Structures are given as C-alpha cells and as structure tokens.
Amino acid sequence: MINFNLDKYKKSLETDYIGKNIIYLKKVDSTNNFASNLIINKEESQKSLNGAVVLAETQKKGKGRLERVWISPEGGLWFTIILKTTLEEKNLPEVTLIAAYSIATVLNTEYSIKAIIKWPNDIYYEKLKLGGILTEVEKIDSSIYLIIGIGINANLDTEDLAPFGKKSVSIKTILGKDIEIEYFLSKILFDFEKDYKYYSRTKDFKTLFKKIEKILNYD
C-alpha cells in the first residue's frame, strides 16, 4: 500500500465509529501486536480505541493462524480493528466470519470478484488465497477487547505473490489493475460495522449465518 491517502479515506468512510480513529504506520512488526500494546499500555483512551483501526504499509512479522507468518509487502491491505466488546471469547469465531463476509461482500458488489470464505478464517478466489483474518483478545481489568487482524492481497503484483507459490492471488492480478485502497477499506469497515452492531446488540448469529453460509466452504 503505497501513499495511502488519509483524506481520501476519511471522505469515503461512512461508519458510525469503526475506522474514525485510524493509526497509520509505514512499517510495523504486526498490526495485531501494535494494537495489543496500545490496549495494554493504555496509550490512548478506551473511548478512542473502541473502533480504532491500525493500518500499515508493510508488516515485518505479520501474524497468521497457528503462529504462521503472513508475508506483508507494500501493495497489500494490512490492518487491525480494535473493539471494546460485550461479547465473550467464545464468540470469536462468529466475529471472524462476520469480518470475512464483509470482505467477500465488498469484493463481489464493488469489483465483481466472487470470493468465498474458507473455514475458519480465509478469503479465497477460485481455490487461491486472497486474504485472511486473525482475531485475538486482550482482557484489561473488566474490559474485553477484540483485535481483528485482516490481511488482503490487494495491489500486489505477480512477483509479490511468488513467495506463496501458486496458492495465492491478488485483487490486482484478478482485475489487471490497481484498486483504490482507501475506498476498499472504507467499504469493508462499513459492511462489517453494520453486521457487528447487529450481532452485539441481539446475539443473533443464526440470522447472519444464513447469508454467510451461502459462500462458506469447509474444504
């Protein structure tokens, strides 16, 4: 992600609170680790951290599931959403699926990319990995924070994908052109916030799952 335009992003953002506070970094070990440290050290108020997004151009030690390293060069979309929540730790898989669904929905509606969710936390396009999600938890006093790390191969070139072998794809290689990262991120956050707020308020995952399962693959 080169020269992320904060003004352009803020103009396209339509959320109530998620992403309003964006922490933009050129390079970091992991956006999830950075977010965790913010929470633990209370470097920002609890109010400003709820819904905050940590965004980095590159990650030196991006985190994947099962302690795998997520390769994160410039051109990708690497970010973490911080949420102070009333949900419990057992609800993490549901939140991960809600996030995955928001990404897949935006890919389909905005770019005509028919993405699917590969259980439990990946975004795929035609059997090739397009993105992934790692949801973690920090407990501070009586507060629970969700740390939702998201990595999407957005504007990566073919050579950027070489370390993955022939198992990954990027939005750029699918469409043959770059996308506007700022707009893409704002749309993901908008879609995610809508379903997350519903789930937090009602604890009704069954209704959400009816639409999620249509693009969910367990293979």
Of residues 54, 72, 95, the one with CA closest to residue 199: 95
Could you tell me whether strands 143-152 and 216-217 are parallel, antiparallel, or unpaired per DSSP bridges?
unpaired
Q: Is the pTM of this model over 0.95?
A: no
Block residue for tokens 């904060």: 6
pLDDT at 124 over 70: yes
6-217 in CATH: which number? 3.30.930.10
The pLDDT-based confidence of 140 (bands split at 50, 70, 90) is: confident
pLDDT score recorded for residue 191: 98
pLDDT score recorded for residue 71: 66
pLDDT score recorded for residue 73: 81
Residue ranges per structural domain of the chain: 6-217
Q: Is 169 exposed, middle or buried (0-12, 13-18, 19+ CB in 10 A)?
A: buried
